[in-house]
Each structure stands twice: as C-alpha cells, then as structure tokens.
Structure 1
C-alpha cells in the first residue's frame, strides 16, 4: 500500500486532524516558507502527535548543528533535504533515515542519464521527486510529467510530490507506483490544512486496489 505524508503542519488543529486520520508521515518545515515552524513550536506539535505517525523534518541548506538540534528537540524520525546538500553533507546523518528531494520542471520532456545517476549516488533511503516551474521549486500546485518518474530506475525508494490533489492522486500512483505520496497545499483551504481534504486524500490513496 502506498504510504502517505501530510507536510507543512503548523497548528494544533493540524495535529488533531492527523491524529484522527492517521497518515503514515507528517512534515515539519524548518526552512523559510509560509509553513515554517521554529523549534519551540515543532516540539509542542510533536508532543501532541500520535506516536504511530512518523515525524519528518524538512530542511534547505541548513546548518548541521541546527538540524541536529531539531532532531533532538522535535524527536524527528526522518530528515528531508530540499537544498544543495551533497553526499558529504548527508554523511553527517548516516545514523538517521534520510530523504533527498530533487525537482523536475513541469515542462521537461525527457530525463537525462546524468539526473538518474546523480540520484543513485546518494546514500539515502528515499528520493522525493517534486515539481518546479522556471526554477521555482515546491508550492507550484502543478505536477511534472509522471511518465518521466515511471521511467526512473532508483536504488532507493521513490516518493512523489508536487501538484498532487484529491483529484489526481489515483492517476499519479497508477503511473508512478511510488513508495509514498507527499502533499501539502493540495489538502489546504485558504492556506491552512483542511480536515475534509486530508480525509478524502487519505481515503483515495488507501482505497486504491
């Protein structure tokens, strides 16, 4: 069964929603973003979270000591990196589950061999494939060509993100067959998490045969 990550929790209500609906993972965004949380808030939210749900910390080119402080302060289970972090940087977290995000432009028609080789050089647990548009990564609300992801032969797990919604997630899973799907804005209304949208999204994914 495809795993589910609800990213960008920042309110007590968000935690209450997922505690009831039980996705497999949630994400706390420590990078600059409208969903950014500081360590104090992440710790408070983490303490309220159902322990069955794995906590993912999302970082972009963050200082190593600050990542380690977040690991301890918010009891993170997984680290997800969205910046220019290379293998040397990631080696500082070899005792942790690490996900690395790479973006695919929505206009791209073919994946280069170098792109795939670069992905497979990382010693990580999963690659998060996100969408970008003219250099803007994440939050575009648009998806890249999923057929491209279906062609990528990875040595790690594949997590699909970028432009997912209640309306298209079933198609995305059928094409890509990812280990997990990662959604944030697609389950929001007016910039905040929407209980009914999260519920419908989870139901859609878990009802796929």
Structure 2
C-alpha cells in the first residue's frame, strides 16, 4: 500500500511498548527525556532500543536541556532525530549532527511567525498551553493550518496534539503533515494500548 503521511508513536517506556512497535512498524518512535510521566533515563532508553526493530527511527524528546546533555544522550541511545520542545533558538539547534525537529506551540495565526527564524529538518506543530510545553492531549484549531503557506509546504511538518484513531483522518486531510505524532491518543490508563496503536497506524496509512 502506498501512503504519504508517516507516523510517530511517542512516549515509549516499557519493554511491552517495544514489542508492540516491532509488530506494528511505525516510522518513528519517541523517547521522552523531558519532565513527564513518560520520562525515561538514557540508560532505560538504551536498554529498550537494544530490542527495537532497526528499521524504526528513534527520536529523542528534549526540553531546555544543555547542548552537552543532549549530545551525551543522543550518543548513548544512537538517536536519529532530536526533537526540541522548549525555548531552544536556532543557534542551539545548529549544534547537533542529527536531524532536528523543533516544536512550535500553536495558539493563533501569529504562532506561525516564529517558524520563519528556524531552518531545521522538521517543524512540529503542537497545542499552546500557558504552563505546558506539550503533552496536553489537546488539539489546536486545525483551521489555522492555512497559515502554513508562510512556512512553504515543502518543509517537513509534524502534527502533534490531541490526535487519536478517531480524528487522525480529518487531521491529515486538513493539514497534510509529513508525520503525525501521537502519544496519549493510543494509551489506556497511561499505558500504550496495542489495539489503539494498531488502529491508529492502519488509519494513517489508509488516508
């Protein structure tokens, strides 16, 4: 089957999660090194990665870490992509050899202006919250996606925030992202749910 939008399952923290993704083959998986209920240490992530299917790309999620700390974790865990959710500027983003995805919290049309200051490999659109940098489980107004013309549609847009198997088709049709990023939308009681993950991936790849 031919499909365009890729999928990232974020917030893996258990051996069972690795078993699930090895069976389901999402394009990317994410390990959260930032403060979160899904946070893992570099040692935990390294152990989980040892059992991961090598065809799946590994993304590390960071929030205002020092450059040196990111480099150490990226090396220990052999990360393919670094995803920054904090106040990291373009000078910071230039410090790494890996591909960089930068998160932008979307509140209104003006939220897209900040992207113009960045030249990164991926632009992750997440939901604005006045006290949280991500992981709210809430979607922003996808109608704002018309402002993506400023960014140029040939850039890699990653859509996050409030996605689940029920709304992902609509999200893809409206925003046409390169990647959809899901975490809580495929969980039950805070843990990854195999059936929800399976349904999510199937729906993304049928759009």
The one of 5, 14, 39 equivalent to 1:36 is 39
- Contact 1:150–1:175 at 8 Å: present in 2 too? no
Using the size of structure 2 for normalisation, the TM-score is 0.93
Aligned to 2:69: 66
- Contact 1:59–1:81 at 8 Å: present in 2 too? yes
- Contact 1:104–1:132 at 8 Å: present in 2 too? yes
Matches within 5 A, 1:78-157: 78-93=81-96, 95-105=97-107, 108=108, 111-112=109-110, 115-153=111-149, 154-155=151-152, 156-157=155-156
In structure 2, how many angstroms separate the alpha carbons of the residues matched to 1:104 and 1:7?
Answer: 19
Gaps of 5+ in 2: none
- Contact 1:150–1:177 at 8 Å: present in 2 too? no
Instruction: State the shift of 1:118 in Å.
Output: 2.2
In structure 2, how many angstroms separate the alpha carbons of the residues matched to 1:190 and 1:30?
Answer: 21
- The question of 1:11 aligning with 2:14 is answered yes
RMSD: 1.2
Instruction: State the shift of 1:116 in Å.
Output: 3.1
Using the size of structure 1 for normalisation, the TM-score is 0.92
Q: State the aligned residue count.
A: 201
Instruction: State the shift of 1:71 in Å.
Output: 0.9
1:10 alignment partner, SS class? coil
User: Which runs of structure 1 show a deviation greater than 4 angstroms over 4 or more consecutive aligned residues?
Assistant: none
Once the two structures are superposed, residues 145-199 of structure 1 have per-residue CA deviations (whole angstroms, 9 ceiling, x without a partner) of: 1111243122431110000011100000000000010000000000000000000
